[in-house]
Amino acid sequence: MEKPQLIKDGKRLDGRDFDELRPIRITAGVIKNATGSAYLEWGNNKVLAAVYGPKEVFPKHFADPEKAIVKCRYAMAPFSSLEEHGRAGPNRRATEISKVTREVFENVIMLEQFPSTEIDIFIEILQSDGGTRAAGITAASVALANSGIPIRDMPYAVAAGKIGDQLVIDVNKIEDNYSDADVPVAISPNLGRILLLQMDGNLTKDEFSRLLGMVEKAGTKVMAAQRQAIMEMYKQ
Amino acid sequence: MQIKGISKEYMSELLNRKERIDKRGFMDYRNISIKTNVIPHAEGSASVYLGDTYVLAGVKLDVGEPMQDKPDEGTLTTSAELLPMASAEYEEGPPSPEAVEFARVVDRGIRAAELIDMPALFIEENKVWNVYVDIYVLNYDGNLFDAGTLASVAALLSCRMPKLEGKEIIREGALPRLKTKGIVTSCTFAKIGESILLDPSGTEESFMNARFTVANDENYIRAMQKGLSGYFTRQEIERLIDTSFEKSKTLRKIVEEAVKSGD
């Protein structure tokens, strides 16, 4: 398939600069039954995140007498993409993303305060346009804050990448299909801790260092969107 | 060697003295031994001992359909089995999230490095070669990611290219090699407390709170994966990338020699 020209006159196909995020809008408290929830729109991505718990562990023998266990489901709706109907059920990609997302939140939730319980995090990608795991983590962070479950920090995530030789932030689907590197990163901002880092493609060490700098810079805007959702939550 | 009954306190005391249970330096690999063509029925195969971690990778090629988004290329499917015989902790059943992550990280390194010449696997419209890499973990003693990548890459580099005669696939006899380019390897680090160790053993992995893998070739980082609930700082990650470039020189040599001596 012919690779489209993704960069023209120093701008990306959708008119963005290389380090420019798509618009992000987050609303907290959208699923009534959940302990906490958030709806996020990030460009064309539409994501719902919900948190349940702490609750009884199922099955019981998984319970940890010293802390809460976290379960996480990341899933894409079969109608979420511009391409063909998605196959039902968890695939290997979703299994891996669910695992690395769970690990992000295991780091920040104060699990030791809720021994022998379970905290569930559900992330449903209703519409997808690249960077959905970053969008899911960013939304789930707000859902957790909305739940009142104590957390040490509110992680955010950004999908960085490389198009040709150009480093870019917030890769969308068409860019992702033809990108030269794909680097989702989740950061716990208070302590500057990297909680999720995946990459495939090709990057030199120097390019990776510069990309991390771009992620941290973009992160201030993602955090601002998260904060605004929480401020609005208390206004109501 | 899996050492049972080591306490968290003893482990951290040891690491504070900059020592490891098996006396290695923090950035040392265990002994690595690779043998190729260990399963002659498979088109490609390799077994790897990384200390007492023992894995086997087999490669098969079949004729099938291309991926929708890449109609003129072959396909690659990488799977991993944590066999119940490999550890008292492993149980039968569908692949765990750990096994799925393991297979996908190995797959990404091979794919991103463009190790296999995928366009060369095109046969005709809607007909391509499907490459299957199956990683069998036979004995677990930590660091499956690096052992699995070594085994898969060695198996692919020593893989025969079958021939299609009408509807029949000829898998034996004088056959050329699968077309490949370069060598990709990975380096996996475990963080225990504030200490970071290359090539963690099974005992060390039972204490690790974060894991980081870098797959690279001579020039580029090809894949990375941070795992578990612990964290790394930016400085740590950048230092480990440097280490992986340094260590990969030796790893590539070991793979090269194993492929040569298996001919």
Q: Kindly give the pairing relationship between strand B75-82 and strand B127-139.
A: parallel
Largest CA distance in chain A: 59
- 8 Å CB contact of B221 and A103: no
Cβ-defined contact of A96 to B241 (cutoff 8 Å): no
Is the separation of the CB atoms in A208 and B219 below 8 Å?
no
Q: With contacts defined as CB-CB under 8 Å, which chain A residues touch B103? A: 92
CB proximity A193 to B under 8 Å? yes
> Which chain A residues are closer than 8 Å to B109 by Cβ?
200
DSSP B68-89: TTBTTS-EEEEEEEE-GGG-TT
A100 contacts B227? CB cut-off 8 A:
yes
Q: HSE (CB half, 13 Å, CA atoms) of B106?
A: 31
Decide if A231 touches B, using CB distance below 8 A: no
Tens digit of pLDDT per residue, chain B (263 long)? 456 678 999 999 999 999 999 999 999 999 999 999 998 889 999 999 999 999 999 999 999 999 998 999 999 999 999 998 888 888 888 889 999 999 999 999 999 999 999 999 999 999 999 999 999 999 999 999 999 999 999 999 999 999 999 889 999 889 999 999 999 999 999 999 999 999 999 999 999 999 999 999 999 999 999 999 999 999 999 999 999 999 999 999 999 999 998 77
Instruction: State whether CATH 3.40.50.2300 applies to domain B8-261.
Output: no
Kindly list the residues from chain A whose CB atom is less than 8 angstroms away from the CB atom of residue B222. Answer: 200-202
Check A106 against B219: CB less than 8 A apart: no
pTM of the predicted model as reported, rounded to 2 decimal places: 0.89
So what's the pLDDT on residue A88? 65
What is the band of A3 on the pLDDT scale with cuts at 50, 70, 90? confident
Q: Say which of B95, B212, B220 has its CB closest to residue A204.
A: B220
Q: Locate B40 and state its tokens.
A: 């002659």
> In chain B, what residues touch A191 (CB-CB under 8 Å)?
231
Whether the CB-CB separation of B152 and B135 falls below 8 Å is answered with yes
Check if A233 contacts B (Cβ < 8 Å): no
**Cβ-Cβ contacts under 8 Å, B216 against chain A:** none
- Give A-chain residues touching B112 at CB under 8 angstroms: 200-202
pLDDT given at position B2: 54
Six-digit token string for B98: 């750990």
Taking CB atoms and an 8 Å limit, are A99 and B98 in contact across chains?
Answer: yes
Q: What are A65-79's pLDDT values in tens digits? A: 999 999 999 999 888
Q: Do B101 and A103 touch (CB under 8 A)?
A: no
Transcribe A152-213 into DSSP letters: S---EEEEEEEETTEEEES--HHHHHH-SEEEEEEEETTTTEEEEEEEEEEE-HHHHHHHHH
Domain range summary for chain B, segments of one domain joined by +:
8-261
Q: What is the pLDDT of residue A1?
A: 54
**Looking at the partner chain, which of A177, A193, A197 has a beta carbon nearest the beta carbon of B224?**
A197
Q: Is A222 in contact with A158 (CB distance < 8 Å)?
A: yes
Domains present along chain A, CATH in parentheses: 16-235 (3.30.230.70)
Q: What's the ipTM?
A: 0.82
